[in-house]
Amino acid sequence: MLIGDIEIHPFTDGIFRASPAYFGEHARPDGHEDLFSRHGMAWLPIGCFLVRTRDRTVLVDAGMGPDLDDAGPRRFLIGGQLPLGLRALGVSPSDVTDVVCTHLHSDHCGWLFDLAASPVFPHATIWFGAGDWNHFVASEHGAMAEHIRHGLLTYRSRVRTVERDTTIAHGITLTMTPGHTPGHLCVIIASGGQRALLLGDAIVCPVQLDEPTWQSMGDVDPALARQVRERLFRELEDGVTLGAGAHFPELQFGRVLAGQGRRWFS
């Protein structure tokens, strides 16, 4: 996808399988059989986005890594494909200038460091929300792989934590969208009068437009996460902005069509 003169390349690190219960015990597949299309499960990507400007190569979300997370019937994730995706785009890890993690859940930061806590992207600056540093890295109770925590602490000089909307390169701005995690952020790409939102997990799936009470089982603050979702859906109504989340089916971009009842269009 081109947004003005900025390229956005979606690709996947692996598979995220979710049951309706991932979205809450009250969630049912009725009317959404196209989403829960195989044995009553949704098969979603663990999405990443490579953003290329004239002088920067930015990776948005660093996948699951060569690992899996089995949370029973509600959620199962398996990663490992990010290097293949980069290679298909003609990019090596050393080419990446910046890595933006929309948040620090395991399926968004898994390739930051290898098991020896050495950087996978040796020349990259790492960006994420300051609230996630406090929640995941600094806290003894934060749910984070130890080699990722150790790497972030060891290479702290390469880490940039943000607390407010921050432009990191021409046409690339990080905007704070807490709720799913305390420091969750989205990425705004703007160029040539066009605009796109990389949503991370602020909106897990477009089905949440039709089912506003459906939430992610990972939401730290469900009430705030719902407010943020509604704010982002309104932004996606403007007729200009396109959006895609890390787990949107096929990583397709879309927008909200307003009228007699809003609907998602991709």
Domain positions in the chain are 2-265
- Is the per-residue pLDDT at 195 higher than 80? yes
The pLDDT tens digits of the residues spanning 227-243 come to 999 999 999 999 999 99
Q: Which residue has better confidence, 258 or 167?
A: 167
* The pLDDT value given to residue 140: 67
User: Global pTM?
Assistant: 0.97
* The pLDDT value given to residue 258: 86
The pLDDT tens digits of the residues spanning 62-100 come to 999 999 999 888 999 999 999 999 999 999 999 999 999
The pLDDT-based confidence of 260 (bands split at 50, 70, 90) is: low
* The pLDDT value given to residue 249: 97
* The pLDDT value given to residue 261: 79
* The pLDDT value given to residue 73: 87
Kindly report the backbone phi and psi dihedral angles of residue 16, in degrees, each rounded to the nearest multiple of 5, phi listed first.
-120, 110
The pLDDT tens digits of the residues spanning 201-216 come to 999 999 999 999 999 9
Lowest mean pLDDT among 69-78, 165-174, 190-199: 69-78
* The pLDDT value given to residue 123: 98
Give residue for tokens 């290479």: 155
How far apart CA 151 and CA 101 sit, in angstroms, is: 15
Quote the distance between the C-alpha of residue 110 and its chain's center: 12
Burial class of 157 by CB neighbour count within 10 A (0 to 12, 13 to 18, 19+): exposed
Q: pLDDT averaged over the chain? A: 96
* The pLDDT value given to residue 244: 98
The pLDDT tens digits of the residues spanning 105-150 come to 999 999 999 999 999 999 999 999 999 999 999 986 668 999 999 9
Q: What is the CATH number of domain 2-265?
A: 3.60.15.10
Residues linked to residue 180 through DSSP beta bridges, in sequence order: none
> Average pLDDT in the 33-58 region?
96
- Is the per-residue pLDDT at 3 higher than 90? yes
* The pLDDT value given to residue 141: 64
* The pLDDT value given to residue 71: 87
> Average pLDDT in the 162-177 region?
97
User: Contact at 8 Å (CB) between 173 and 153?
Assistant: no
Burial class of 129 by CB neighbour count within 10 A (0 to 12, 13 to 18, 19+): buried
